[in-house]
Amino acid sequence: MRALRIGFLLGFRQVQRANFWTTTLIIFVMMLTFLNLIAVSGILVGLIAGSERAVQDQSLGDIIITPLDNEEKIIQTETIRRTLDTLPEVSSYSIRYQQGAQITANYKTRRDFNIEPNEVGARVRGIDPVAENAVTALSNYVVEGEYLEPDEAGYILIGALNIDRYTAGFADITGSLTDVYPGDSVRVTINGASQEFTVKGIVDAKAGDVASLVYLPEKELRRLSNSSSRDADEIAIRLADKSPATGVAVKSILIDQGLDEFAKIRTFQEALPKFITDIKNTFNILGTFIGAVGIIVASITIFIIIFINAISRRQQIGILKGIGINRSAIEIAYVLQAAFYALMGSALGILITYGFLIGYFDANPIDFPFSDGILVAEPIGTLYRFIILFIITLFAGLIPASIIVRQNTLNSILGRK
């Protein structure tokens, strides 16, 4: 207790009387270290989190219902629809029908039958344009032309990945349509039945399959595929509260009502493609590794700062020992200094992260090809990183102080080696 009191007095006064700019510089370095710890791994994880968010917002919704493993369609789709209509937690849902199709363009102007036709194989998603827009805001992703109007017929939306000017060199692999623009006619062929549609818009988005699909009003798709069944391929559900906990709760309600006998019910997290989860885990490991390097750099920085500080006060340390101040008190003084630098640097880092960076990246996500990268800094993760940084900083302060304090008292006083 005595050592702590004296250590606190010495440490506090050293910090108080230290050169303002030196202290500012040290705190700045600590702040950068903290930001490196939080922001670098946060952005790496944020790339995938951005992708997840995009998949949730643009494709899967908060809960996704798909056919059981041994079924091709969702059984009792109408029963599920009626149940969803009764749940206040559900803000909207979109019943989707899907079919494989061949899309052909420019067939009217094709003169030479020796060259390949301008066509592409694609999945057609039959939607209620209003319901789909309520769940995924699909109209926001129309990059050319316009979105489908309710109850109109004869129009189609084409995903950008089916059009060569959007595929950026991947056309040879995926196949694509050339010279197709809104207003052009395309022929959709499903199981040998064909119908001509006018391209109303081109849809492009980074998430999931949004840009690879072709969209028709569901009535048109069922008519073309000659299907009288109302059983759907997917039901994407948007909840009023998008939090994972609500998703789990609503899924439980649906299961309690016996709907899992008709279809597979999954929250968005459960339905995420495995590669996203794998990349997320890999980036987490990478972020932790970069963070660990950051911590090592921070501890070496603190070590050097405290070592220089202690060695420049070696004579003073000798005198303190000479007049009877014990080793612990002197060591505590330097550990407290290190703690002060770590606390101030981390506090500034936290302020910048939560007060500015997260909001900034949310508003201005980093434009990556597969996602809009945001900064993810979960408070609990930040707390763990802070605790690790703080503890390591204390040791980085203690070790050099201890090295100097352990030196012979008289040699320290006289400045002898």
Partner 1 sequence: MDIIKATNIHRTFGEGSLQAHILKGIDVTVRSGEFVAIMGKSGAGKSTLMYQLSVLDEPSQGDIEINNVCISTLTESERTAFRLTTLGYVFQNYALVPDLSAEENVMLPLLMNGYTWDKAKDRAHHSLDNVGLEGKYTNLPAELSGGEQQRVAVARALSGKPKIIFADEPTANLDSVSGTQVIDLLVRLHKDNGQTIVMVTHEREYAMDCDRIIHMEDGQVTNIEHLK
Q: CB of residue 324 vs partner 1: minimum separation in angstroms?
A: 2
- Check binding of 253 to partner 1 (CB under 8 A): no
Nearer to partner 1, 40 or 319 (CB): 319
Count helices and strands (H / E) in the chain.
16, 12
Q: Burial level of 189, CB count in 10 A (0-12/13-18/19+)? A: middle
- Check binding of 323 to partner 1 (CB under 8 A): yes
State the first-to-last Cα distance of the chain, in angstroms, to the nearest integer.
Answer: 32
- Check binding of 407 to partner 1 (CB under 8 A): no
The token pair at 58 is: 């643009």
- Check binding of 319 to partner 1 (CB under 8 A): yes
- Check binding of 410 to partner 1 (CB under 8 A): yes
Q: Which of 238, 251, 321, 385 binds partner 1 (CB under 8 A)?
A: 321
Nearer to partner 1, 75 or 319 (CB): 319
Separation of alpha carbons 88 and 120, rounded Å: 42
Residues of span 54-73 touching partner 1 by CB under 8 A: none
CB 92 within 8 Å of CB 130: no
Separation of alpha carbons 270 and 41, rounded Å: 24
Residues 6+ apart with CB under 8 A from 152: 217
For 81-145, give the DSSP string: HHHHHH-TTEEEEEEEEEEEEEEEESGGG---TTSPPSEEEEEEEEE-HHHHHHHH-GGGGEEEE
CA distances (Å), 174 to each of 23, 101, 168, 204, in order?
59, 14, 11, 16
Binding window for partner 1 (CB under 8 A); candidates: 116-124, 363-371, 387-395, 405-413: 405-413
- Check binding of 322 to partner 1 (CB under 8 A): yes
- Check binding of 6 to partner 1 (CB under 8 A): yes
CA distances (Å), 105 to each of 187, 212, 390, in order?
6, 16, 64
Q: CB of residue 338 vs partner 1: minimum separation in angstroms?
A: 16
Separation of alpha carbons 174 and 58, rounded Å: 22
- Check binding of 326 to partner 1 (CB under 8 A): yes
Binding window for partner 1 (CB under 8 A); candidates: 129-137, 145-153, 211-219, 314-322: 314-322
> What are residue 124's DSSP bridge partners?
99, 214
Number of chain positions touching partner 1 (CB under 8 A): 23
Nearer to partner 1, 13 or 110 (CB): 13
Binding mask 257-296 for partner 1 (x = CB under 8 A): ----------------------------------------
Residues of span 327-346 touching partner 1 by CB under 8 A: 327, 329
Q: CB of residue 41 vs partner 1: minimum separation in angstroms?
A: 38
Residues of span 16-55 touching partner 1 by CB under 8 A: 16-17
Residues binding partner 1 (CB under 8 A): 2, 5-6, 9-10, 13-14, 16-17, 316, 319-327, 329, 409-410, 413
